[in-house]
Amino acid sequence: MVDDINQKISCFIDDELKSNETLDLLKECQSNPTLQNKLNRYQTISYCLSSKKVLPIREDFLSNIQQGISKDPLYFSTVNLQPKKSYRTLMALAACVSLIAILILKPSEETPLKVNIVSSSTMAAITTQPEIDQQKTKQKNNPNNRFNDYLQAHNTSLYTNTAVTFQPYTQTASYKQN
């Protein structure tokens, strides 16, 4: 039985153990310091044969590391990461849904607005016809408008306000000469 385990240690050093056997052996070494020492000695022999150098491992090597990390907090990084990921996914999903909702709702909001605008302008057109007439008479009475009307009637001025009455350069020059 002991020989079997020792033979496994020998195979482990040579990377000749299967994954599950390696795990079992490591667990046995963890719980049994004698096996751990055996492993260390086999490794020392192996290294010595290949390099002619002796590098024995201290017996307290593992326990020193255990002491070093004993005060460290337990890490749950994988556990912590998963909620973060799902939280981010949820946020992204929520953002997408809200964006889609905005895109869908936006035209339906604009349509009534347009309707309102059209209806209001139509209503304005209907209700303010007399007002437009009044504005026209006011514009007619305005001295500037009357002046414009005069200039348009004489048809020789550049000071008219529309392109229809814009005169060619020759005519303008002749006007200036006059």
Partner 1 sequence: MNNQPNINEQLDKDLVKRVQQGDKSAYDLLVIKYQHRIIQLVNRYIKDPSEAQDIAQEAFIKAYRALPNFRGDSAFYTWLYRIAINTAKNYLLSRSRRYSDYQVDIQDAEQIENAPQLQGRDTPEYLLMNDDIVNTIETVIDNLPEEMRIAIMLREFEGMSYDEIAQTMECPVGTIRSRIFRAREAIDKKLLPLLDKR
Cβ count within 10 A of residue 3: 7
**What's the CA gap between 138 and 129, in Å, rounded?**
14
* Minimum CB distance to partner 1 smaller for 19 or for 177: 19
* Minimum CB distance to partner 1 smaller for 6 or for 160: 6
Show the 3-state SS of 150-173.
Answer: HHHHHCCCCCCCCCCCCCCHHHHH
Rule CB under 8 A: which of 63-82 touch partner 1?
A: 64-66, 68-69, 72, 74-79
Contacts of 30 (CB under 8 A, 6+ apart): 36
Rule CB under 8 A: which of 31-60 touch partner 1?
A: 36, 38-50, 52-58
Q: Please report, as ranges, the residues that interact with partner 1 according to CB under 8 A.
A: 3, 6-7, 10-11, 14-16, 18-19, 22-23, 26-27, 29-30, 36, 38-50, 52-58, 61-62, 64-66, 68-69, 72, 74-79
